[in-house]
Amino acid sequence: MLQKYRLLALCAGASLLFACAKPDEAPSAPAELTTDAQKFGYAIGVDLGNSLEPVVAHVDVAALKQGLDDVSSGAEIRLDETAREQIKNAVSQKMQEEQIRKRDAAAATGAAEGKKFLAENSTREGVETTESGLQYEVITEGDGPSPDASDEVTVHYVGKLINGEEFDSSIARGQPVTFPLNNVIPGWTEGVQLMKTGGKYRFFIPSELAYGDRGAGAKIGPNQTLIFEVELLGINKAEAGAE
């Protein structure tokens, strides 16, 4: 986290600050970008602006420009190195605490929404609930064998949040996926074993059988209940005695 705030010091080496500023505070851009120096300066400004986006709410742009001006003009630096490190560390800590509060709030919301959804979903006709809390419904029943947890399976799938937002799809990529069934989230490991080859099921996976309070990437937040439509295309049986 602190490394992001060290980017503030890089602004002292840039000749353009408009990318670091808020829209109503941005300095005027050059009328044209014709020379290499203008283009190079603009490119640095854009890179810095993108890098500083996570902290711009904590930055006083006028003071940022003053720091650049003081370095460029050789004026006395108003904060010594110790003071500069202290304030960067303080702001870094503040932002970390803000992120923790936001994540805790998102986790609480995700857990509550998931619990409510699963309670209502369990009453729908055709939805079955296993002992673990996994819910499923049969879209199409297969007529082939069922896999064991140690098997490798090939599937097509679509993954959604309970609000209907799609976060992953092998169908959209146009390519099924093959993986060891014991090397995925518990809800998949349990659920796919209920299927027969050629079948298609819809799984409603509680967060504790999915990614829990850690979430996954940018799209799956903490304590999110997930919905997967899974079509079991094939099974590669594990060799006897194989680990």
CATH code, 137: 3.10.50.40
Catalytic residue among 42, 70, 151, 185: 185
139 and 202 fall within a common domain:
yes
Per-residue pLDDT tens digits for 14-24: 433 433 444 44
In a domain? residue 223:
yes
Q: Which domain holds residue 9?
A: 2-78
- Which of 78, 110, 142 finishes a domain? 78
pLDDT band at residue 3 using 50, 70 and 90 as cut-offs = very low
- Which of 78, 94, 113 finishes a domain? 78
Q: What percent of the chain has pLDDT over 90?
A: 65
Catalytic residue among 5, 157, 201, 204: 157
Active site residue 211: yes
In a domain? residue 243:
no
195 and 135 fall within a common domain:
yes
More confident residue, 41 or 172: 172
Please, what is the Cα angle at 179 between 178 and 181, to 5 degrees? 130
In a domain? residue 17:
yes
Question: What pLDDT does residue 239 have?
Answer: 64
Catalytic residue among 201, 211, 227, 235: 211
More confident residue, 18 or 31: 31
72 and 143 fall within a common domain:
no
In a domain? residue 15:
yes
Active site residue 139: no
> How many structural domains compose the chain?
2
In a domain? residue 177:
yes
Q: What would the mean pLDDT of 225-233 be, rounded to a whole number? A: 98
More confident residue, 39 or 152: 152
pLDDT above 80 (res 154) = yes
232 and 142 fall within a common domain:
yes
Catalytic residue among 47, 70, 151, 168: 168
134 and 197 fall within a common domain:
yes
- Which of 52, 78, 104 finishes a domain? 78
Question: CA torsion, points 174, 143, 197, 209, in degrees to nearest 10?
Answer: 110
* Lowest mean pLDDT across 1-5, 24-28, 101-105, 125-129: 1-5
Question: What pLDDT does residue 72 have?
Answer: 82
pLDDT above 90 (res 117) = yes
Question: What pLDDT does residue 29 have?
Answer: 55
Question: What pLDDT does residue 8 have?
Answer: 42
Per-residue pLDDT tens digits for 69-103: 888 889 999 999 999 999 999 999 999 999 999 99
In a domain? residue 87:
no
Active site residue 167: yes
Q: What percent of the chain has pLDDT over 70?
A: 85
Residue 166 tokens read as 């799609």
In a domain? residue 142:
yes
In a domain? residue 63:
yes
Active site residue 228: yes
pTM of the model: 0.71
